[in-house]
Chains A and B, each alone.
Chain A
Amino acid sequence: MSALPQTDNQTAGGRPARRLNLRDAGWLAAPAVLLLAAVLVYPLAIIVLRSFSEPEPGLQNYIWFFGSPVNRAVLQRTFVLSGWVTLASLICAYPYAYAMTVVGKNLRLILILCVLVPFWLSGVVRTLAWVILLQDSGVINSILRGLGLSPVKLIRTQLGVVIGMTQVLLPFMILPIYSVMKGIDTRLLQAARSLGAKPWRAFLQIYVPLSLPGVYAGAIIVFILSLGFYITPALLGGPRSTMLSSLVQNQVLSLLNWGRGGAMGVVLLVATFILLAIAAPLMRQKHTQTRREK
């Protein structure tokens, strides 16, 4: 990063004088920023505004939201379920990403394929597959029955939602972890071992800390995406696994209550940004880490 201003000076000196003297190349981002202002910032501002002004000015929508035990329960559940999804995907992703870095070329290709196909495939289609799988007479329960076990209730339960969301979001955890692990110099491990460290100790004390930036990045992405997830909980969930997004949608589309829907949206938005603010220092570590590696 610190190399950048230097390059800037270079261009200023090295380039023939141009009529358009843009002191700062940042202007090139202007069209994108303008679009963002129109389709992101302005709409969000409208929602914030409506949450305080509809049906009348005041805090009524927030008082309603935090005053209702059901809403508080849904808010809490949204965080808890997102936490479970993050944890479950981390457990699946970490060894998988590690394996991707140590196997041979062909096997790696297959492992990458297994991540990329679901990553690119429409989330609606993957959720449809889970609807078919998790039904009471679905594949999973058919197998359980075949084994002589009693069927479990999966669809419309929190467990079902967590399973479905974990699968849909897993690639978002694997890819960042893998991209960090790829850059870790495994000779460090060999060095530690040659100095007498046990393999597991070397792994835990050297490899894991180096891979943490990827873990943080993956975890924060998955957690944030879970918080705002809509399609999978809507199709797989029931009344007791409702997440905040469904309530927002219900308020706006079915009840036309922009004030209350907006207030819920703002709560979700604020929670997301607080999380990002907390995670930002952890992510920043990434740069120092990579620099140290070099």
Chain B
Amino acid sequence: MQLSSRIFLGLFCLLVAILLLAPTLVVIPMSFNSNKSLAFPPAGFSWQWYDNFFTNPEWLLSLRNSFLIATVVAILATTLGTLAAFGVTRAAARTGGLLRAILITPMVVPGVVLAIGIYAVYLDTGLVGTVAGFVFAHTMLAIPFVLIAVSASLEVFDRRLETAAASLGAGKLTVFRTVTLPLILPGVLSGALFAFITSFDEIIVALFITSPYLKTLPVQIYSSITRDADPTVAAVGTLLFLATSFIIVAGLLIGMRRGRT
């Protein structure tokens, strides 16, 4: 590449990187605002919004709900999604392709359309504002991510290893536990992480099926932005930003180390 185009590319990428990351950073100064306001620039300095987040039962409860629901969703979606990934990669090509197309639809159905449909069904079945209701909807939304992650590792998996183990007398479950699972584990784990975050961040369906008894963190954030204009949301945003960055940096570092050895 020529030097000039190299410099141009470098500058352009710097701008894009800033666009990707910098806007979000604005929540950090806002979270220390001493006024109950989201107007910029923030005035003074105070920890009160962090204090509010950690002492206000509504915020803590919504955080707890989100953790609970996302954990159950991660377990359920990983199980169903991994099974489905086996089905998709090992069925006859045509069936597999069809199954994959069907199972991936939640990713392409517009969020609001899905949300009003689920809301209609839940109103009739009494699932509005229940953990089960959230878990069903979020698991369905998370399965495609698990499916993609796991089938990616299954596609590069050498099935002759299973055949070899089986021919040496290992039962089906033993083969799965000792041969297949360890090899596809990275895919399964990243699928589980995808599923957890899908549920933890999900907002559109949640806005429709929420109730005062059961709010998730994104719902609480959204209603706080629209109702309260309260910098607690900026404090929550800052915490989420730090947690996310930490997890990703840790993940990348672990991945790098594994790559080296």
A interface residues with partner B (beta carbon < 8 Å): 1-2, 4-5, 7-8, 10-11, 14-16, 18, 24-33, 35-36, 38-40, 42-44, 46-47, 50, 92-93, 95-96, 98-99, 102, 109-118, 120-126, 128-133, 135, 137-139, 142, 167, 170-171, 199, 224, 227-231, 235, 245, 248-249, 252-253, 258, 261-262, 265-266, 268-269, 272, 276
Residues of A within 8 A of B252 (CB): 109, 112-113, 116
Q: Is B218 on the interface with A (CB-CB < 8 A)?
A: yes
The residue of chain A having its C-beta at the shortest distance from the C-beta of B146 within the complex is A32
The residue of chain B having its C-beta at the shortest distance from the C-beta of A30 within the complex is B87
* Mask: chain B, 1-28; 1 = CB below 8 Å from A; 0 = not: 1100000011011001101110111110
The residue of chain A having its C-beta at the shortest distance from the C-beta of B238 within the complex is A125
Q: In the docked arrangement, what's the CA distance between A116 and B251, Å?
A: 11
Q: Is B166 on the interface with A (CB-CB < 8 A)?
A: yes
Q: A116-B248, A128-B233, A171-B20 are in contact. List 17 more A-B contacts (CB 8 A).
A: A8-B91, A25-B87, A28-B83, A29-B84, A31-B83, A95-B12, A99-B10, A111-B13, A122-B237, A125-B236, A125-B237, A131-B225, A132-B30, A142-B41, A167-B19, A248-B116, A269-B113
The residue of chain A having its C-beta at the shortest distance from the C-beta of B219 within the complex is A124
A25-B90, A32-B143 as given contacts; A228 in contact with B113, CB under 8 Å = yes
Chain B residues 208 to 251 lying within 8 A of chain A, measured CB to CB, are: 208, 218, 221-222, 225-226, 233-234, 236-237, 240-241, 244-245, 247-249
Residues of B within 8 A of A120 (CB): 197, 244, 247-248
Q: Is B172 on the interface with A (CB-CB < 8 A)?
A: yes
Q: In the docked arrangement, what's the CA distance between A4 and B157, Å?
A: 12
> Are A29's CB and B87's CB within 8 A?
yes
Q: Is B185 on the interface with A (CB-CB < 8 A)?
A: no
Q: Is B139 on the interface with A (CB-CB < 8 A)?
A: yes
Q: Which of B167, B172, B204, B226 has the most CB of A within 10 A?
A: B204
Q: In the docked arrangement, what's the CA distance between A138 and B26, Å?
A: 10
> Are B21's CB and A11's CB within 8 A?
no
A26-B95, A132-B27 as given contacts; A47 in contact with B117, CB under 8 Å = yes
> Are A14's CB and B163's CB within 8 A?
yes
Q: In the docked arrangement, what's the CA distance between A17 and B5, Å?
A: 63
Secondary structure of the B contact surface, majority rule:
helix
Q: In the docked arrangement, what's the CA distance between A121 and B95, Å?
A: 35
> Are B19's CB and A32's CB within 8 A?
no
The residue of chain A having its C-beta at the shortest distance from the C-beta of B201 within the complex is A122
> Are B108's CB and A272's CB within 8 A?
yes
* Mask: chain B, 92-125; 1 = CB below 8 Å from A; 0 = not: 1101110100110110111111101111110000
Can you show 5 pairs from A to B with CB atoms below 8 A apart? A31-B83, A93-B16, A121-B24, A122-B203, A132-B40
Q: In the docked arrangement, what's the CA distance between A39 and B109, Å?
A: 12
Q: In the docked arrangement, what's the CA distance between A111 and B12, Å?
A: 12
> Are B40's CB and A117's CB within 8 A?
no
> Are B9's CB and A98's CB within 8 A?
yes
Residues of A within 8 A of B225 (CB): 124, 128, 131, 235
Residues of B within 8 A of A167 (CB): 19-20, 23
Q: Is B38 on the interface with A (CB-CB < 8 A)?
A: yes
Contact of B99 among A29, A125, A139, A245 (CB under 8 A): A29
Contact of A265 among B30, B88, B116, B166 (CB under 8 A): B116
> Are A35's CB and B23's CB within 8 A?
no
Contact of B116 among A109, A125, A262 (CB under 8 A): A262
Kindly list the 5 A-B residue pairs having the minimum CB-CB distance in the complex, ordered from nearest.
A228-B110, A43-B117, A29-B87, A28-B87, A26-B91
The residue of chain B having its C-beta at the shortest distance from the C-beta of A102 within the complex is B1
Residues of A within 8 A of B166 (CB): 14-16
> Are A43's CB and B89's CB within 8 A?
no
Residues of B within 8 A of A224 (CB): 108, 110
Closest Cβ of chain A to B258, distance in Å, is 14
> Are A272's CB and B109's CB within 8 A?
yes
Closest Cβ of chain B to A158, distance in Å, is 18
> Are B113's CB and A113's CB within 8 A?
no
> Are B114's CB and A99's CB within 8 A?
no
Closest Cβ of chain B to A251, distance in Å, is 9
Q: Is B53 on the interface with A (CB-CB < 8 A)?
A: no
Closest Cβ of chain A to B209, distance in Å, is 11
